[in-house]
Structure 1
Amino acid sequence: MHTSNRIIQLFKENQASVPFSGSAYVKGKETLVATCFGYANRSEKICNQTDTRFGMASGCKLFTAVAICQLIEQGLFKYDTPVQDIIHLSLPFLSPQVTVHHLLTHSSGIPDYFDEDEMDDFEELWKKRPMYRMNRPLDFLPLFQEKPMMFDAGKQFHYNNAGYILLGMIIEATSGLDFRQYIKKHIFNPSGMTQTGYDRMDHLLPKTALGYIEDPKTASWRTNAYSLPIQGGSDGGAYTTVYDLEKFWNHLFSYQLLGKQFTEKLLTPHIQVDTHLYYGYGLWIAFHNDQVFKYFIFGYDPGVRLSSSVYATSRIQSHLLANSEVNINQYARQIDDIVKSEPALI
Structure 2
Amino acid sequence: MKLKNVDLETILADKAKEIDFSGVVHVENRTGMIHASAHGFSNRSESIPNTINTRFGIASGCKLFTAIGICQLVENGSIAFHSKLSNLLDHSFPHFGGEVTVHHLLTHSSGIPDYFDEEVMDDFEELWVKNPMYHMKRLEDFLPLFQDQQMKFNPGEKFHYNNAGYIVLGLIIEKVAGTPFSDYVEEYIFKPARMQDSGYFSLDCLPAKTALGYIDKEDGSWKTNSYSIPIKGGADGGAYVTAGDMAKLWQSLMNGELVNKEMLTKMTTPWIQTDNGYYGYGIWIEKAEDKIVKYHVMGYDPGVSFASGYYADSEMIVVIPSNKERGPHKLMYLLEDHI
Partners of 2:261 and 2:185 lie apart in 1 by: 20
| 1:3–1:32 Cα contact (<8 Å) kept | no
SS for the counterpart of 1:202 is helix
The corresponding residue for 1:334 is 334
The corresponding residue for 1:195 is 197
The corresponding residue for 2:319 is 319
The corresponding residue for 1:64 is 66
The corresponding residue for 1:309 is 309
Partners of 1:290 and 1:54 lie apart in 2 by: 34
The corresponding residue for 1:247 is 248
Among residues 39, 43, 55, which one is paired with 1:41 in the alignment?
Answer: 43
The letter for the 1-side match of 2:335 is I
Consecutive unaligned residues in structure 1, runs of 5 or more: 340-346
The letter for the 2-side match of 1:79 is F
Q: Percent identity?
A: 47
The corresponding residue for 1:342 is none
Displacement of 1:326: 1.9
Partners of 1:249 and 1:73 lie apart in 2 by: 19
Displacement of 1:3: 3.7
The corresponding residue for 2:239 is 238
Displacement of 1:11: 2.7
Partners of 1:169 and 1:102 lie apart in 2 by: 15
Partners of 1:155 and 1:327 lie apart in 2 by: 33
The corresponding residue for 1:264 is 265
| 1:56–1:306 Cα contact (<8 Å) kept | yes
1:221 aligns with 2:222: yes
Partners of 2:2 and 2:316 lie apart in 1 by: 16
The letter for the 2-side match of 1:325 is E
The corresponding residue for 1:296 is 296
Partner deviation per Cα, 1:209-241 (whole Å, 9 max, x = no partner): 000000112x11110000000000000000001
In structure 2, do the counterparts of structure 1 residues 15 and 77 end up closer, same or farther at CA, with 3 Å as the change threshold? closer
In structure 2, do the counterparts of structure 1 residues 257 and 2 end up closer, same or farther at CA, with 3 Å as the change threshold? closer
SS for the counterpart of 1:166 is helix
The corresponding residue for 1:136 is 138
SS for the counterpart of 1:191 is coil
The corresponding residue for 1:80 is 82
Partner deviation per Cα, 1:129-152 (whole Å, 9 max, x = no partner): 000000111100000011100000
The letter for the 2-side match of 1:174 is V
| 1:19–1:326 Cα contact (<8 Å) kept | no
Partners of 1:64 and 1:42 lie apart in 2 by: 32
| 2:214–2:223 Cα contact (<8 Å) kept | yes
The letter for the 2-side match of 1:229 is P
Which TM-score applies when normalising by structure 1?
Answer: 0.95
Displacement of 1:32: 1.2
| 1:11–1:20 Cα contact (<8 Å) kept | no
1:55 aligns with 2:62: no
Among residues 92, 95, 98, which one is paired with 1:93 in the alignment?
Answer: 95
The letter for the 2-side match of 1:151 is F
The letter for the 2-side match of 1:47 is P
1:122 aligns with 2:124: yes
Displacement of 1:2: 6.7
The corresponding residue for 1:105 is 107
In structure 2, do the counterparts of structure 1 residues 15 and 191 end up closer, same or farther at CA, with 3 Å as the change threshold? closer
| 2:2–2:338 Cα contact (<8 Å) kept | no
Partners of 2:145 and 2:11 lie apart in 1 by: 42
Partners of 1:247 and 1:163 lie apart in 2 by: 26
SS for the counterpart of 1:309 is strand
The corresponding residue for 2:280 is 280
Consecutive unaligned residues in structure 2, runs of 5 or more: none
Partners of 1:75 and 1:241 lie apart in 2 by: 32
Which TM-score applies when normalising by structure 2?
Answer: 0.97
Displacement of 1:112: 0.1
The aligned runs of 1:144-155 (5 Å cut-off) are 144-155=146-157
The corresponding residue for 1:343 is none
| 2:16–2:331 Cα contact (<8 Å) kept | no
Partners of 1:119 and 1:10 lie apart in 2 by: 36
Displacement of 1:6: 3.8
The letter for the 2-side match of 1:196 is S
- Report runs of 4+ in structure 1 exceeding 4 Å deviation: none
Would you say how many aligned residue pairs link Structure 1 and Structure 2?
337
SS for the counterpart of 1:281 is coil
